[in-house]
Copies of this chain bind each other. A is one copy, B any other.
């Protein structure tokens, strides 16, 4: 059978056991100086024999520090979320901070509640992923609640809070240029959710590439998605059902591109022979699916790690980096080719 839960030993119990005051125990446990080695040892022994573990809740109350950091995100792409978490957890390893996750269904609609939610959770700091990273209301509420924050991929008001940025416009222009240079002229676009500012930025990048190549921006070939695979599937179906179907599709993230890939497959189209397809993000599935997707690598992991560092810096009263520009990479893989000559 399992042992019974017994009353938890407190710092006072340990002190009594070691024949010292509670404060001395506290000093030893927190590695403060000015405690004789002999007493230190007595305290440690007493703590061990009583199975003492500090009560984080009490410590948190008096120190005004919960050691809890939040991650706020909307829930579109599993691989994106995993990368965010990995980045934060990597920075948090061997620190006393813990990661609390806050997937918010619709951040824009609920932006008024979000800060209250984070505040009542007693967080010390948060990392804001899109689209929360662009929500000024949340930023403001966080500041007035005294919660440290850092942002990933904001597009607006960069100077307002520490930001990790990648140049979405340039990245989108580069991937669109690659497709145009392969010879495509009828090019469909699957946009991400409108509440993400990155969606606008990427569309602008595409349009710059079209303009530079002397191609018109065909608004009739722009379909709205929401960053989910399902939405990419549906959008691709609409595009491919056109009388004048595109020979290439630019999807604004990899999940939607994979959805488009499945849609193409269902119509008997082979990628890239019949249809060129590109994504965005270099998420794991872009490498796993077949063919692997031409995409743009966003250093999500590094941005999350860096954002976490920015938050911790604030909590430790070090001046945080206010802005970190991250590089992107155009990754040309097997999903792009010249258009079929029909």
Contact A78 B284 (CB under 8 A): yes
Partner of A2, one of B53, B160, B290: B160
Q: Out of B5, B120, B144, B290, which one reaches A290, CB within 8 Å?
A: B290
Residues 269-299 of A contacting B (Cβ, < 8 Å)? 284-285, 288-290
Rounded to whole Å, the gap between the CB of A94 and the closest CB of chain B is: 11
Which listed residue, B56, B139, B145, touches A122 by the CB 8 Å rule? B56
**Neighbour of A79 across the interface among B58, B78, B145, B160, CB < 8 A:** B78
A212 at the interface (CB under 8 A from B): no
Contact partners of A229 in chain B: CB under 8 A: 288
Complex contacts, A262 vs chain B, CB 8 Å? 288
Across-interface contacts of A145 in B (CB, < 8 A): 5, 8, 53
A104-149 contacts to B, CB under 8 A, are 116, 119-122, 139-140, 143-146
In the assembled complex, A60 has its CB within 8 A of some CB on chain B: yes
A56's partner among B81, B120, B258 (CB-CB below 8 A) is B120
- A338 cross-chain contacts in B, Cβ below 8 A: none
Q: Which of A4, A81, A120 has the largest number of chain B CB atoms within 10 A?
A: A120
Chain A contact patch, size range: 35 or more
Chain B residue numbers with a CB within 8 Å of A161 are 2
Q: Is the CB of A3 within 8 A of B288?
A: no
A3→B57 contact, CB < 8 A: no
Q: Which of A55-84 contact B (CB under 8 A)?
A: 55-58, 60-61, 64, 66, 68, 78-79, 81-82
Q: Complex formed: what's the CA distance from A181 to B99 in Å?
A: 47
Contact A144 B5 (CB under 8 A): yes
How distant is A78 from chain B, measured CB to nearest CB, in Å? 4
A324 contacts B by Cβ under 8 Å: no
Complex A-B: 23 CB contacts under 8 Å: A2-B140, A2-B144, A3-B140, A3-B143, A3-B144, A5-B144, A53-B116, A56-B121, A57-B60, A57-B66, A68-B68, A78-B82, A78-B284, A85-B101, A89-B101, A89-B103, A98-B100, A98-B121, A100-B100, A258-B288, A265-B290, A288-B288, A289-B289
Other contacts beyond A81-B82, A99-B101, A285-B288: 7, CB < 8 A: A2-B143, A3-B143, A58-B61, A60-B61, A60-B122, A68-B100, A288-B289
Q: Which 6 A-B pairs have the closest CB atoms?
A: A5-B146, A2-B143, A290-B290, A56-B122, A3-B144, A78-B82
